[in-house]
Amino acid sequence: QKGDVAIAVEGLSASYGASEVLHGIELSVAKGELVAVLGANGAGKSTLMRALSGLHRPVAGKILFQGDDIQELAADRIARRGLVLVPEGRQVFPELSVVQNIRLGAYGRHTAGLDAQVERMLDRFPRLRERQDQRAGLLSGGEQQMLAIARGLVARPEVLLLDEPSLGLAPSLIQELYTILAELRDGGATILLVDQMAEMALAIADRAYVLSSGAIVAGGTPEEIRDSRLLEDAYLGDA
Ligand code: ATP
């Protein structure tokens, strides 16, 4: 059901060795929502995404996915349940073709009807259709980012996690990418994204949180986030 809780994070803390980098994070994403987590370099955005997808074990707190506690599950089990991460830096397979990369996203999930699903991705990302048989390593950074998202979507995830999708992209491509993300949400997708591109993300998000030095310092609608000075403070504070 649209509006049901997709992800609920309660009191989540994460560390590297003795140093705690996430402190008691509370956030939620409802089904059908596009939620942005904004924060400067080193705020803990990637660590949060890695914790949600089972790649980094939190030291405290709870992660509920569709009501189930998932923080003990291995990353592949979490992905198979439909909580799918598009990692920072894209991580496409450079020697494989565009279509082969997309097909890999379905591994372990929804392999029936895969050809049709790949076609839908190529419809969604025309730049990828033009280059469908090229090696992924030859794509531009922006095209690789589209490919990484298509690979994440082909499995028809319940929730898509996007780690800094705009990283390293030219402004025009960021605009194109964000337009696609808004279309995906309008089509019913549930998306949690972290990005430094605050204005871009606020323009399409239903709700947003500000992450500063490992803590959530604000949460609300884009208007509320813009009106509070917390966003600015978070960026300046971390600079
Ligand atoms: P960026 O935008 O630069 O990717 P971020 O908001 O994603 O930053 P994280 O990558 O989550 O931030 O890092 C949060 C903190 O944890 C930083 O202080 C970083 O130096 C530290 N950190 C990240 N990865 C490790 C690691 N593997 N070992 C030790 N410290 C780490």
- Give the integer Cα–Cα distance in Å for 161 and 164: 10
The pLDDT of residue 236 is 57
- pLDDT digits over 79-124, tens only? 999 999 999 988 899 999 999 999 999 876 766 788 999 999 999 9
The pLDDT of residue 2 is 74
The answer for 154, left when phi > 0, alpha when psi is -120 to 50, beta otherwise, is: alpha
Residue 197 DSSP one-character state = -
The pLDDT of residue 66 is 95
Where does the pLDDT of residue 134 fall: very low under 50, low under 70, confident under 90, or very high at 90 and above? very high
8 bridge partner residues: 28, 64
Token reading at 176: 């194109």
The candidate with the shortest Cα–Cα distance to 38, out of 237, 171, 189, 235, is: 235
Identify the burial level of 234 via C-beta atoms within 10 angstroms of its C-beta, where 0-12 means exposed, 13-18 middle and 19 or more buried: buried
Q: Compute the mean pLDDT over every residue in the chain, rounded to the nearest whole number.
A: 91
Mean pLDDT, residues 119-134: 94
Around ligand 1, the residues with Cβ closer than 6 Å are: 16, 21, 39, 41-47
The pLDDT of residue 171 is 87
Output Rg (C-alpha) for the chain, integer angstroms: 17
- Among protein residues, the one with the nearest Cα to ligand 1's atom 19 is 42
10 bridge partner residues: 62
* 3-state helix, strand and coil shares in percent for the chain, rounded to the nearest 5: 40, 25, 35
Could you tell which of 15, 21, 238 is best to mutate to test the pocket of ligand 1, judged by most ligand atoms within 8 Å of the CB?
A: 21
First to last CA, the chain: 41
Token reading at 217: 């310092």
Where does the pLDDT of residue 239 fall: very low under 50, low under 70, confident under 90, or very high at 90 and above? very low
Q: How many CB atoms lie within 10 A of CB 65?
A: 22
Model confidence at 153: pLDDT above 50: yes
The pLDDT of residue 170 is 86
Could you tell which of 47, 48, 196, 210 is best to mutate to test the pocket of ligand 1, judged by most ligand atoms within 8 Å of the CB?
A: 47
- pLDDT digits over 7-62, tens only? 999 999 999 999 999 999 999 999 999 999 999 889 999 999 999 999 999 999 99
Helix (H/G/I), strand (E/B), else coil: 117: helix
- pLDDT digits over 57-77, tens only? 999 999 999 999 998 999 999
- State the closest ligand 1 atom to the C-alpha of 16, by its place in the atom list counted from 1: 29
Where does the pLDDT of residue 238 fall: very low under 50, low under 70, confident under 90, or very high at 90 and above? very low
The candidate with the shortest Cα–Cα distance to 147, out of 168, 163, 124, is: 124
Mean pLDDT, residues 164-186: 90
- Among protein residues, the one with the nearest Cα to ligand 1's atom 1 is 41
Q: How many CB atoms lie within 10 A of CB 116?
A: 8
- Among protein residues, the one with the nearest Cα to ligand 1's atom 2 is 41
The candidate with the shortest Cα–Cα distance to 23, out of 51, 54, 55, is: 51
- Give the integer Cα–Cα distance in Å for 146 and 152: 10
- Give the integer Cα–Cα distance in Å for 193 and 14: 19
Q: Which residue has the tokens 């956030």?
A: 27
